């Protein structure tokens, strides 16, 4: 049985954390940031962890931690790379509604700075454009709902998500 969580997926910089906290307040849900859970469990910032264990091992750690989440009536903001491990996404889909926060490449590019400093699991030699093009089909594959957020303020985005998940 699907639990009543709302799981947010999307590119780094799309607003999963900011919009997720606002949405949780709007609907009276708890809030979980899975990247924060990884940092707490591993005792390192994401960029440090990726540098230490490598991209593939980081993705395995991220998938394991997301697969172990146990929650109900929570907004769960995932890391942007959670979509690389099918087992983790299948587990998250059993926990609630997966919502893709969709933004144009141009908007994402304008929001992001140094991807490695931010803790983005980036393949060697990949640009932000490469990452966007690789991940977009995966976000679309796993999403129950996709919400276009270009031009929306945080509050407008949270309201759009609230309406989308209540349909």
- Both tokens of residue 40? 């707490």
**What confidence tens digit (pLDDT) does each residue in 44-92 have?**
999 899 989 999 999 999 999 999 999 999 999 999 899 999 999 999 9
| Architecture per CATH, 5-160 | 3-Layer(aba) Sandwich (3.40)
**What confidence tens digit (pLDDT) does each residue in 16-47 have?**
999 999 999 999 999 999 999 999 999 999 98
Calculate mean pLDDT across residues 101-128: 81
pLDDT at position 117, please?
Answer: 64
End-to-end CA distance of the chain: 19
pTM greater than the 0.85 cutoff: yes
Residue boundaries of the structural domains of the chain: 5-160
pLDDT at position 1, please?
Answer: 32
- Both tokens of residue 86? 């099918």
Name the residue with tokens 């707490």: 40
CA 55 to chain CA mean position, Å: 17
pLDDT at position 75, please?
Answer: 97
């Amino acid at each position: 049985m699907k639990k009543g969580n709302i799981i947010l997926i999307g590119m780094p910089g799309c607003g999963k954390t900011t919009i997720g906290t606002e949405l949780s307040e709007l609907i009276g849900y708890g809030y979980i940031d899975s990247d924060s859970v990884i940092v707490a469990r591993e005792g390192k910032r994401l960029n440090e962890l990726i540098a230490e264990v490598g991209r593939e091992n980081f993705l395995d750690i991220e998938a394991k931690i997301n697969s172990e989440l146990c929650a109900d009536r929570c907004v769960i903001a995932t890391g942007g790379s959670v979509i690389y491990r099918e087992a983790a996404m299948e587990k998250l889909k059993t926990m609630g509604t997966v919502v893709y926060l969709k933004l144009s490449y141009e908007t994402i590019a304008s929001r992001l700075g140094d991807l490695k400093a931010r803790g983005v699991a980036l393949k060697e030699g990949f640009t932000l454009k490469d990452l966007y093009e690789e991940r977009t089909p995966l976000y679309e594959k796993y999403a129950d709902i996709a919400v276009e957020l270009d031009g929306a303020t945080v509050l407008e985005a949270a309201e759009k998500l609230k309406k989308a998940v209540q349909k």
